[in-house]
Amino acid sequence: MNDIPQIPLLIDGRLVPSKTKEWHDVINPSTQEIVARVPIATPEEVALAISTAKAAFASWRNAAQSTRVRVMFRLQQLVREHAAELAQLISREHGKTVPDAEGEVGRCQELIEHACAVNSIQLGEYAENASSGIDVYTVVQPLGVCAGITAFNFPIMLAANMFPTAIACGNSFVLKPSEQAPSAPLLLARLALEAGLPPGVLNVIFGTADAANTLCDHPDVKAISFIGSTRVGTLIYRRASEAGKRCQSMLGAKNHCVVMPDAQADQAIEHLLGASFGAAGQRCMATTVAVFVGEASKWLPDLVEGARKMKIGASDDRTAEVGPLNSKQALERVRGLIQSGVEEGAELLLDGRDVRVAAAPKGNFVGPTILTKVSDEMRVYREEVFGPVLCVMQADTLDDAIAIVNRNPNGNGVSIYTQDGGVARKFQNEIDVGQVGLNVPIPVPVSWFSFTGSRGSKLGDLGTAGKQGVQFWTQVKTLTARWRMASAAPAALHSSINLK
């Protein structure tokens, strides 16, 4: 028992053993082995991380932009050098296959690369002689202490969505990753220190609702970014907003893929398989609903057969296409949602609930599962499953398919497969979803574009990454200036807002 490593906190540039009496077991989803214990930080430790970040901000905000960006360049290189180690940690604690984890590391690098370019975005505006002898200009300044709360499903990519940009803009940061997969984000933060971040600029704590509430309530925290479940994210957005903070919450999803009769069938089916069942469906951008329009439904048997052939395996099996779910609780929830669909009238074309993996008999496995005859009243359609479950619906026309998507309260991502440019144009104009893919299965934008989820999938005006990410972590200050020569005659008294 004592051989199980205990994860430290990262405060003021040092790895700090927590004084907590409450620990969370980090469990390998393939084997049920306890691989680490993570502390639920005490209120004093959370407060210390915030006060440390506040002290560090005083000097970091005045560091040259070039200095801050050079740290990000170095961090990007260090992530590349430690890619294998990061991927192994992600795979062991999250459960995604090693190749999938390696893809996450690559995405993390791209997000850090974007942070290397913030000095070209963090620009103000200037108007000389906006009024007689008066100049008006804006400066884009950091906010102060910022915080990020991330989910388990992308342990380092979600963190990289937040702190590199925030810190490159001149803020200090407190990161609270998920306690279910803590080791990789902690290593990422340590690499940031190795890259040259001064102590206190980036701090890492672990905790549950109490730690999140402290970040929401503390007067020294100026902005919070959250990525996770709708229930928790809504509570955080409300609490942080009521405390006067800037907040964004990226929430749950129900992502649709519309397949038109003129689509390239092989491409659409192959992409659907990966988007629906890759990472065991544990992605907020996973395709969870396929809408076949008209005669496109004739390809459904091919989709089922392709899903049936996907290899299910432990997270360390590089040949596996579907790994385990993250926890026993997730396993039972996914199984329950599948059963609810059957009880409410859906037809189970492929049932993955009883899958067994000989090399990992204790793993949290659910194989690819396909339900058809699904309606939008069913629980399996209304709720985010977060597992390898695809709901199939039929529509007579493109208009009917668009109506299905737009009726759903979520607006994270949607895709369409068609070879008709006019159909694609109509779809992108009429669909009410933040990210749209045209013959692309998972329309996550490249890192220098913003993640633009909408409606029930997002709270807050600004998205993560891209220009909106820089806008979220900064504030615009407008200055109006008049300079007179020392020998000039005294100015006349002004009692109005007229600046002439």
Give the residue numbers marked as catalytic.
284
- Three-state DSSP state, 455: strand
Which residues partner with 478 through β-bridges? Answer: 138
Environment class of residue 361 by beta-carbon count within 10 Å: exposed (0-12), middle (13-18) or buried (19+)?
exposed
How far, in Å, CA of 323 to CA of 15, rounded? 32
Q: Which residues contact 430 (CB under 8 A, 6 or more apart)?
A: 402, 406
Determine the angle formed by the axes of helices 230-242 and 209-217, rounding to 10 degrees.
30
Q: How many Cβ atoms are within 10 Å of 135's Cβ, its own excluded? A: 15
Contact present, 38 and 176 (Cβ < 8 Å): no
Measure Cα distances from 4 to 183, 326, 385, 443 in Å. 13, 19, 32, 40
Q: Output the six-digit token pair for 369.
A: 């599962």
Question: Can you read off the two tokens belonging to residue 349?
Answer: 């074309």
Q: Nearest CA to 11 among 37, 45, 35?
A: 45
Instruction: Check the CA dihedral 221-153-346-266 and report its sign.
Output: positive
Tokens of 210: 């109490």
Which residue in 247, 342, 255, 350 sits closest to 300, CA to CA?
350
15: how many CB neighbours lie within 10 A of its CB?
14
The sign one gets for the Cα dihedral 158, 162, 167, 169 is positive
194: which 2 tokens?
């190795």
Structure-token pair, residue 260:
């038109």
Q: Rounded to an integer, what distance in angstroms lies between the CA atom of residue 388 and that of residue 382?
A: 16
Distance CA 170, CA 63 (A): 8
